[in-house]
Amino acid sequence: MEVNHINPSCPHCGHGDSKTKCVQRVPIFNHLDPSQMNAILSVVRSKIYRRGELIFRAGESSSALFIVNRGRIKIYRLSESGKEQIIRFLGPGEFTGEYALFSETIHESFAEAVEETMVCIIERDDLHSLLLQYPSIALRLLSEFSKRLESVERQTTWFGTETVERRIALYLLECAEQGLLFTLPMSKKDLASFLGTTPETISRKLREFEEAGWIKQRPHRQIEILDQSALANL
């Protein structure tokens, strides 16, 4: 695959320091001693994906650990009936690839760059030897996996037990934890897929919330929460 060499600090051109930055900003690689860091850096390569490009797709067996350096990736599945279900978004410092990484199975999900995205890549075998050599990194990875499990199970519980209206309200409240005025991290179409509903319903419910005086919608996907408790008590 061809890579656009847009800026002079592109790691493909030999200025490899951004690779270090990428690895350092990943929580599970924080505060490693120099020997560990060098071991990681020696097996990391990086690659740039353009908007809409797939990092991996369901059905593939080849696998690696993909760390987002800059840009954003969306992970989704296609149901039997062909509908798209968004599992999660990855921003800088977050990683994916875990499924096929340890089990001898194929990918069941798709990973797509939603904007120009630079990714650091550690191949499966390299990762395995790394983890065998530095078990403390394996423990951090286990910690990260268990967090993911919690988060996906919480999503499942919402889907199985809450109405669409409450799911939307709960999602807004979760966003509001980082400030009452925030920007939706995705399009409303994607939000609909993420919350297991349709864009139409998202649109209608947000308008209802606004008419009730609980939120205020602003341009550029910004939302301001005016009444947290009303949303929580739905």
For DNA, the binding residues (CB under 7 A) are 51, 163-165, 187-190, 196-204, 206-207, 217, 219-221
Q: Does residue 162 belong to the site contacting a second copy (CB under 8 A)?
A: yes
- Scanning the chain, the segments in alpha helix (DSSP H) are 17-24, 34-41, 98-102, 124-133, 135-161, 164-175, 188-195, 199-211, 228-232
Looking at 5-13, 17-25, 80-88, 182-190, which segment touches a second copy (CB under 8 A)?
A: 80-88
Q: Is the dihedral of CA 201, 207, 210, 215 positive or negative?
A: positive
Give me the least distance between CB of 43 and a second copy, in Å please: 16
Give me the least distance between CB of 86 and a second copy, in Å please: 9
Nearer to DNA, 125 or 200 (CB): 200
User: Which pair of tokens denotes residue 206?
Assistant: 């947000």
Question: 164 contacts which partner out of DNA, a second copy, none, CB within 5 to 8 A by kind?
Answer: DNA
Sequence letter at residue 36: Q
| Structural element, H or E, at residue 55 | strand 54-56
Question: 188 contacts which partner out of DNA, a second copy, none, CB within 5 to 8 A by kind?
Answer: DNA
Question: 51 contacts which partner out of a second copy, DNA, none, CB within 5 to 8 A by kind?
Answer: DNA
Nearer to a second copy, 7 or 233 (CB): 233
Cβ atoms of 85 and 76 closer than 8 Å: yes
